[in-house]
Amino acid sequence: MPYWHRRCINFVSVEKGYDMSKRSNLDIILKNMDTERATKILAKSLYRELVNNGFTNKDIINFSKEMLDHMSAEMRKQAESEASSKKDRLLIG
């Protein structure tokens, strides 16, 4: 785990009063942080991991585009599902 992550974990655990020695799970940390801070930490961590594994800036930009495309498709599916559900309720009720 990168050094700066350990510092964040220690800061969050002390600040929030958690015993992180038994449960040092990133999921627990992210759930107990405010969303904006957790997002920044996650983005920074992911970026560093990609760079450390040989991805170029162009690769990372392509990854970001794919992430946005995936998110857009999921949001579209959800909107269609909600619209269909709403239509069904109108026909029944």
Give the separation between CA 90 and CA 82, rounded to whole angstroms. 12
Mind listing the pLDDT tens digit for each residue in 35-73? 888 888 889 999 999 999 999 999 999 999 999 999 999
* Angle formed at CA 82 by CA 79 and CA 88, multiple of 5 degrees: 140
**Percentages helix, strand, coil for the chain, rounded to the nearest 5?**
80, 0, 20
pTM, 2 dp: 0.54
